[in-house]
Amino acid sequence: MILGDTIAAVATARGPGGIGIIRISGPEAEGILRRLFRPRRDSALPMESHRLYLGRVVAPEPETVLDEVLATIMKAPHSYTGEDVAEIHCHGGVLLLERILSEVVRSGARPAGPGEFTRRAFLNDRIGLAQAEAVWDLINGKTEKGLDIALSHLEGALSDRVQYLRYNLTEALALAETSIDFCDEDVSMDPATNVPRILEHCMESASALLSTYREGKIWRDGLSLVIAGKPNAGKSSLLNRLLGEERAIVSTHPGTTRDFIEEGITVRGIPVRLTDTAGIRQGRDDVEEEGIRRVWSRIAACDAVLVLLDGSVPLSAEDREIIAGTREKKTLLCINKADLPGVLDREALGALLPECPPLEISAKFGTGIPELKEAVYGIAALEETRDMTADRILTNLRHKEALERALRCLERGREAVAQGMSPECFALELREALDALGEITGETTNEEILDRIFSRFCIGK
């Protein structure tokens, strides 16, 4: 990316629409607009910042009217990118937008890269890095709560909380460095008296924020739910019932499902990504063994597991293996085939997973499906999250990992103080914690991380 040049892109979604917007940012933005835009009234010149003007876009060579448009110029630093920004609001035809953008590029701009407008806003100190990432979350929001959280982060709530931690740690670091500088002087400045109190406060705040990540991720991305069970438990039938359509092939022949089938539903406003998997049993060949290995891998990566048991047959060794293998995950336990005589030993099942009372369902006839959906919602949206304000919820994995690193540094720093180690030891830990927190807001983030973050954005943003 080259700072200091002028970039341009279509800022609206690709496809026919009532309005399309071409955005131009950089030192030549106003000059390019002046070369192409002819206002309806001559009195509109010179154009004032942050006003819309009616006129035409005219290609200069040969002089050709391209469209009737609205145009605006937003002078630096009072623009999204912090640079001079011009916008052309034209009719939303794909070919028309391409023609106008081509003339903008021919007049001195270059095509923008993914997320380059927002990246310039960050580099020009218009927004912090956490706020820039909140822009992506707003564009790609999947839940109402997720949008509320993203808007709160865009307005700086998360950045403010992180900066508050950084401020307190900077105070602690100042105490530590003062004791280092004056270690040979007769100065009463023992960091052990104040640093532990500051560290404890910061650790409590960081831990409280980290504890919201699981629920925050679900509000941001939705819930990933794997349906697991032995062959012929009814996994594909359950998937079809939840979807309300025949998506998966249902057969009494074991092993019909060999690969994952993924589909999405919405449960009370929360997107749920369902994954139907191959039946877990002792593999009969290399292909089936590989499929079962992938099932366990998918279970390890998901948010929650729905363990499906066949209530018309006794509890098997395969059932026990599946329950044991999913014990560390958020788990829903369902006994299928409630329309058939019950054979499965409920008492033995209760001993295996006492904290997870099973639901009785019939995937074939729909019995118990409304209760199952409520249970899915209960896993996705815990009560404490619903009562939590948006500025106190962590949603981004990058932020979580940075906060975890900072917390580990603080724990080591607290240990160093408790053991009476030299101030240099905990000063080093405090600096590393500050760097980790700085990665969230952008103070200590390298170019590689910035490239990875902004490459996810659409080109016009």
- Residues 201 and 325 placed together within one structural domain of the fold: no
Structure token digits, residue 395: 């949603």
User: b/e per residue, 290-311, with b = 16+ CB within 10 A?
Assistant: ebbeebbebbeebbbbbbbbbb
For residue 58, the enclosing domain spans: 7-126
Question: Pick from 335, 341, 342, 333: which is nearest to 362 by CA?
Answer: 335
The enclosing domain of 335 has a CATH number of 3.40.50.300
pLDDT at 283: 60
Q: Is residue 167's pLDDT more than 90?
A: yes
Amino acid 274 reads L
Question: Mean per-residue pLDDT for 431-444?
Answer: 93
Query: Parallel, antiparallel, or unpaired: how do β-strands 261-267 and 270-276 relate?
Result: antiparallel
Least confident of 8-17, 218-227, 366-375, 418-427: 418-427
Share of the chain above pLDDT 90, in %: 48
108, 126, 144 - which closes a domain: 126
- Residues 251 and 380 placed together within one structural domain of the fold: yes
384, 404, 431 - which closes a domain: 384
In this predicted model, what pLDDT tens digit does every residue of 300-347 receive, in sequence order? 989 899 999 998 999 888 888 888 888 888 899 999 999 898 888 888
- Residues 11 and 140 placed together within one structural domain of the fold: no
pTM: 0.80
Q: Is residue 459 part of a domain?
A: no
Question: Pick from 369, 381, 382, 294: which is nearest to 334 by CA?
Answer: 369
- On average, the pLDDT of the chain sits at 86
Predicted confidence band of residue 461 (pLDDT cuts 50, 70, 90):
confident
**CB distance 375 to 357 below 8 Å:** no
312 vs 344: CA distance, rounded Å: 6
Q: Is residue 446 part of a domain?
A: no
Q: Is residue 83's pLDDT more than 90?
A: yes
pLDDT at 188: 44
pLDDT at 386: 45
Residues in CB range of 287: below 8 A, 6 or more apart: 258
Predicted confidence band of residue 383 (pLDDT cuts 50, 70, 90):
very low
448 vs 439: CA distance, rounded Å: 12
Predicted confidence band of residue 384 (pLDDT cuts 50, 70, 90):
very low
- Residues 96 and 73 placed together within one structural domain of the fold: yes
- Residues 370 and 405 placed together within one structural domain of the fold: no
Q: Is residue 460 part of a domain?
A: no
Q: Is residue 197's pLDDT more than 70?
A: yes
- Residues 250 and 368 placed together within one structural domain of the fold: yes
Predicted confidence band of residue 181 (pLDDT cuts 50, 70, 90):
low
- Residues 337 and 234 placed together within one structural domain of the fold: yes
Q: Is residue 337 part of a domain?
A: yes
Q: Is residue 308 part of a domain?
A: yes
* Comparison of pLDDT for 251 and 5, the residue scoring more: 5
Number of domains in the chain: 3
pLDDT at 222: 87
- Residues 31 and 163 placed together within one structural domain of the fold: no
pLDDT at 346: 84
Predicted confidence band of residue 53 (pLDDT cuts 50, 70, 90):
very high
384, 410, 425 - which closes a domain: 384
Q: Is residue 454 part of a domain?
A: no
Q: Is residue 76's pLDDT more than 90?
A: yes
- Residues 180 and 232 placed together within one structural domain of the fold: no
Q: Is residue 449 part of a domain?
A: no
- Residues 230 and 379 placed together within one structural domain of the fold: yes
**CB distance 158 to 399 below 8 Å:** yes
The enclosing domain of 44 has a CATH number of 3.30.1360.120
Predicted confidence band of residue 232 (pLDDT cuts 50, 70, 90):
confident
The enclosing domain of 183 has a CATH number of 1.20.120.430
Sheet containing 330-336: give its strands across. Answer: 261-267, 270-276, 223-228, 304-310, 330-336, 359-360
- Residues 365 and 422 placed together within one structural domain of the fold: no
Question: Pick from 307, 357, 364, 314: which is nearest to 337 by CA?
Answer: 364
pLDDT at 175: 81
Q: Is residue 453 part of a domain?
A: no
pLDDT at 352: 85
- Residues 25 and 107 placed together within one structural domain of the fold: yes
pLDDT at 256: 45
